[in-house]
Amino acid sequence: MIVAPWVWVSLALALLASAGFGAPPADMKLQAYLLWGTNDRNPPADRNYQPVNPDIRQKLKSLPLKWAHWYEVKRVDFQVAPGASREVTLSDKCQVKLRQLASAEVEVLLIGQGKEVMKRRQALPKGDLLVLGGNSPNATAWLVVLKRNE
Amino acid sequence: MDLAAQLKLQAWLDGELPEAEARAVADWVAREPEASALAEELRQTRRALAGFEADLRLPESREFFWSKIEREIARRAAPAPASAPRGAAILAGLRRFLIPATAAALLVLAGAVLIRPGGAPTRGGGAEVEMALADAGAFTYCDYSAGTTLVWFSYPADN
Amino acid sequence: MTVKDYSSAEERALVRMAQQGDLAAFEELVARHRDKIYARAYSMMRHEQEALDLAQEAWVKGWQRLGQFQGDAGFGTWLTRIVINLCLDALRRQKRQRVESLEALAEESGGVERQMPVVAPNPTAGLERAELRQRIDQALGQLSHEHRTVLILNEFEEMDYKEIARTMGCSIGTVMSRLFYARRKLAALLTDLKKPDTT
């Protein structure tokens, strides 16, 4: 099949436009969640935990985690300017520091009980999740979820 | 000492010889210093190996290792996807056009992204850098199709 | 049944429950034997990620074949045989993809082990457990996979010559000569590794 040259040119131009060629870096809008995972159907009666929202729950299902129920302990919406960093406190013992790098990547520092536990640098496209987690007492788990919205 | 004699000596140490033959080899080893030295070396090697595997530990947590197994069991138990619909034939025809067109467009796009200052954020582009500062047992799982990265810590937490 | 009940249950009971489709019982079996299965895979493959993948595959296959487990041997032994067979398949695939070293060819055909001087005194005497483990690990890594496998099956799996021959698909004579070479080479390597100037 012979395709007219204008078809290729239009297609390439359309793709270039959608890639945001030359657009300056903008503030990143993110959400940080502290989640608690359990296989019990109900959250602890003495805590006001809310079930995690459906889109996060769906993404967590794709991970090799054995816990069936995830509850939101805390959620923080925040924004980071290019080159700047922002520290978010999720509990007395857990903070996350996020820096937007010039290359549109993020640098994430997890602080647990006052200690720097992990520093990670990676691309975080819109809609992607970075999930940090570990075991908690009584066969439960904790997660820190970072989601980029814009 | 020829190879046959050496292998017989080894078979004796491994308890592979019938009783009468084993007695004969034992006498020979007691008489011959060369055979005795070889027997001692083989015994030393066996002793050195004892308990070697007992120190090896699976480098993943119980929960994480199991969750991978559980997922794989579920995946293999899932029914096979339904056969392609009739419309697939039409799509196949279209594909003959779409594949070269998309490939050409992607080439142009890749060139543009490469010259763009800072480049585009991509998943799994090899740009990930991780430092486990207080937890050498941490490990990472990436599901690029779902756009999710998991870093799992052996770090204890009580929220 | 609660998690606590599973952790205190007898292995035979867990196997019965797992055979009836109880995944939680199977998870407890995995927890009890996962280190051993991984250790066997690692000894054979000498590669952490491959060992992890093969250990995982062994458990999945174990679940799929639970109906075939009769209880003649222990559950751990049965699962170990599954991981050994998976490792042997993987090693055969790898072998097809690589050119054998000249040394390995010589080992099979030339009987070089006969000329090795006997090692004395014991090269591992007086070593701390961790150091001994590290040296053996290094030495095992320098054996060809055929020699390492025959050693593992005999020393760790306690298989007799006949069973090793059946498992590896070779003659008893080959098992004997491979085992002899592997032991002698290991003794020589442990001696070399003991020398302070060894790099």
DSSP characters for B82-132?
PPPPTHHHHHHHHHHHHHHHHHHHHHHHHHHHHHSTT----TTSS--EEEE
Judge whether B140 is closer than 8 Å to chain C, CB to CB.
no
Chain C nearest CA to B56, separation (Å): 5
Say if the Cβ atoms of A16 and B108 lie within 8 Å.
Answer: yes
Ranges of each domain in chain C: 3-96, 99-194
Predicted pLDDT at B131: 63
What's the token pair of residue C28? 């407890």
* More confident position, C163 or B79: C163
Predicted pLDDT at A26: 83
For residue B122, the chain A residue with the least C-alpha distance is: A123
Which residues 57-116 in chain B show a CB within 8 A of chain C?
57-60, 62, 65-66, 68-70, 72-73, 76
CA atoms of C136 and C149, how far apart (whole Å): 14
CA atoms of B122 and B144, how far apart (whole Å): 10
Instruction: Return the ∠ at Cα B67 (arms to A57 and C93), rounded to 5°.
Output: 130
Chain B nearest CA to A41, separation (Å): 19
Q: How many CB atoms lie within 10 A of CB A27?
A: 12
- At residue A62 the predicted structure's pLDDT band, cuts being 50, 70 and 90, is confident
> What confidence tens digit (pLDDT) does each residue in A121-137 have?
888 988 899 999 988 88
* More confident position, A42 or B56: B56
Predicted pLDDT at C104: 44
Judge whether A76 is closer than 8 Å to chain B, CB to CB.
no
Predicted pLDDT at A80: 94
> What confidence tens digit (pLDDT) does each residue in C125-136 have?
666 777 888 888
Burial class (CB in 10 A: 0-12, 13-18, 19+), C142: middle
Domain C3-96 in CATH 3.40.630.10? The answer is no
ipTM of the complex: 0.80
Q: What is the pTM for the complete model shown? A: 0.56
Can you give the pLDDT of all 159 residues of chain B as single tens digits? 788 899 999 999 999 999 999 999 999 999 999 999 999 999 999 988 888 888 889 988 888 899 999 989 988 887 655 544 444 444 444 455 455 555 545 444 444 443 343 333 444 444 566 665 555 556 677 777 778 888 887 655 544
What's the token pair of residue A98? 């996020």
Q: Which residues of B fall within a CB distance of 8 Å from C39?
A: 53-54, 56-57
CA atoms of B64 and B75, how far apart (whole Å): 17
Question: Class of the C99-194 domain?
Answer: mainly alpha
Q: What are the beta bridge partners of residue A31?
A: A77, A147
Max alpha carbon distance in chain C (Å)?
62
Q: Which residues of A fall within a CB distance of 8 Å from B118?
A: 25, 102-104
Asked whether residue A100 carries a pLDDT value surpassing 70, the answer given is: yes
Predicted pLDDT at A65: 80
Does residue B42 contact residue C183 with C-beta atoms inside 8 Å?
A: yes
For residue C63, the chain B residue with the least C-alpha distance is: B73
Closest C-alpha among B65, B64, B66, B158 to residue A142: B158
Residue among B108, B133, B148 whose CB faces A12 most closely:
B108
Q: How many CB atoms lie within 10 A of CB B66?
A: 22
Does residue C135 contact residue C169 with C-beta atoms inside 8 Å?
A: no
Does residue C19 contact residue C67 with C-beta atoms inside 8 Å?
A: yes
> What confidence tens digit (pLDDT) does each residue in C120-162 have?
556 566 667 778 888 888 889 889 889 999 999 999 999 999 9
Closest C-alpha among A28, A44, A145 to residue A82: A28
* More confident position, A46 or C175: C175
- At residue C198 the predicted structure's pLDDT band, cuts being 50, 70 and 90, is very low
